[in-house]
Chains A and B, each alone.
Chain A
Amino acid sequence: MRVVLRNPRREIDVPGPMTVANLLARLEIVPESVLVINGDTLVTHDARLADDAQVEIRPVISGGAT
């Protein structure tokens, strides 16, 4: 599957199928810090991503003072 990461934007290929939870574990990404978008829909951690999936892992943490 093709995986788009952000900040900075980059793309990587990961062999599928695989669950979202496994994908995040494999990339050492903390699940609470991201959303996973398969095509154009959000997916839960137990969702299966097909080998030909287009996946975006979008960070949700933003900086900034109060």
Chain B
Amino acid sequence: MKCRRCKAPAIIDIPRHNAAFCADCFTHQCREQVKRAIHEHRMIAPGEKVLVAVSGGKDSLALWDLLTEIDIPADGLYLGLGIGEYSDHSGEYTRAFAAERGLRLHEVDLLRDHGYDVPGAAEATRRAPCGACGLSKRHLFNQVALDEGYDVVATGHNLDDEAAVLLGNVLRWETAYLGRQFPVLPAGPGFARKVKPLVRLSEREMAAYCVIRGIDYQVEECPMADGNRHLGFKELLNQLETKSPGTKAAFISGFWSRGHDAFIAEADEERATLAPCTECGAPTTTGDRCAFCSLRSRAQSATTEQPVTLRTRS
């Protein structure tokens, strides 16, 4: 195959664009897709302070690299989840990336700073760890952004993440979630703006980007992801994509342009009922402590009682 742009030998084919690219043209194409997403959804205005949520995985490191490449300066925030060696290595990849490029990295460690870790939180909630893990991430990314004066939190959610979440939300008709599923969530009282600049790029493209750019990332899968239902949705969607390239992009972009509006009212209603958490001040619908504060207090006791199986840093 030849590169669509310069006719040199291609190293990656993108069936949904019916195109293949050489390394240089592929990185160019990724930058253009990110610029386009940022522009189309007005994600980041010139001069705004941007915080990238980095995990050490391919998507968030690629995002940080891409933003830097297109002259949008951004600092990083790494959250230590306490998931054994997986977290240790993820932290190392992230720190090495930041150090090599002279980028500023904030770190929050769940155990050191909040007295619990993800295995402890999973134990306390008796649910799949991803729920407690996702809640902690959302809360703390937002909190650090507000405390440190960032305008925008950028996350590495890609096309596949969004399509899998959409499928999950549609299968259960989670109308409030559907109302909030968009490439940009505006700022509000107690909320920084949230943006997803990688929504036009697939997971496979992000992995390829890292390989081409020589970005070392955590290739291993999180040991707690087993049974994560989004993984199953991604596999299903990729089977459809292989048979019919472009399915994922059509699913998600059609939702944004023709479906999302129908669910906004519900999400707005929920936002209107928010009041500050009695413990941390973050907006919550509970009228009492927010979900994060109540998770933290339950998880703290489970974390200290739990045998140190997955924990290495205690």
Residues of A near any B CB (own CB < 8 A): 6-7, 30-35, 37, 41-47, 58-66
| A58-B219 contact, Cβ under 8 Å, with A33-B204, A42-B12 | yes
Residues of B within 8 A of A33 (CB): 204, 234-235, 238
Contact code string B198-235 (vs A, CB < 8 Å = 1, else 0):
00001110111001100000011110010010110011
CB of B133 within 8 Å of the partner chain: yes
- Tell me how many residue pairs across A and B have CB atoms closer than 8 Å: 94
B125 CB, nearest partner CB in chain A, Å: 13
Chain-A contact segment, one of B28-36, B157-165, B256-264, B265-273:
B157-165
Residues of A within 8 A of B20 (CB): 44
A41, A45, A66: residue with the most chain B Cβ atoms closer than 10 Å: A66
Residues of B near any A CB (own CB < 8 A): 1, 10-13, 15, 20, 23, 57-59, 130-131, 133-134, 137, 157, 160-161, 165, 202-204, 206-208, 211-212, 219-222, 225, 228, 230-231, 234-235, 238-239, 241-242
Interface residues of A, dominant DSSP: loop
A24 CB, nearest partner CB in chain B, Å: 10
| A65-B10 contact, Cβ under 8 Å, with A32-B241, A34-B204 | no
A41 (CB) vs chain B CBs: closest residue: B11
Q: Quick one: which of A31, A35, A61 contacts B208, CB cutoff 8 A?
A: A35
A30 CA / B57 CA spacing, docked (Å)? 21
B186 CB, nearest partner CB in chain A, Å: 17
Residues of B within 8 A of A64 (CB): 130, 133-134, 161, 222, 225, 228, 230
B204 (CB) vs chain A CBs: closest residue: A60
On whether the beta carbons of B239 and A7 are closer than 8 Å, the reply is: no
Residues of B within 8 A of A45 (CB): 13
A33 (CB) vs chain B CBs: closest residue: B238
On whether the beta carbons of A30 and B207 are closer than 8 Å, the reply is: no
On whether the beta carbons of B220 and A44 are closer than 8 Å, the reply is: no
B88 CB, nearest partner CB in chain A, Å: 17
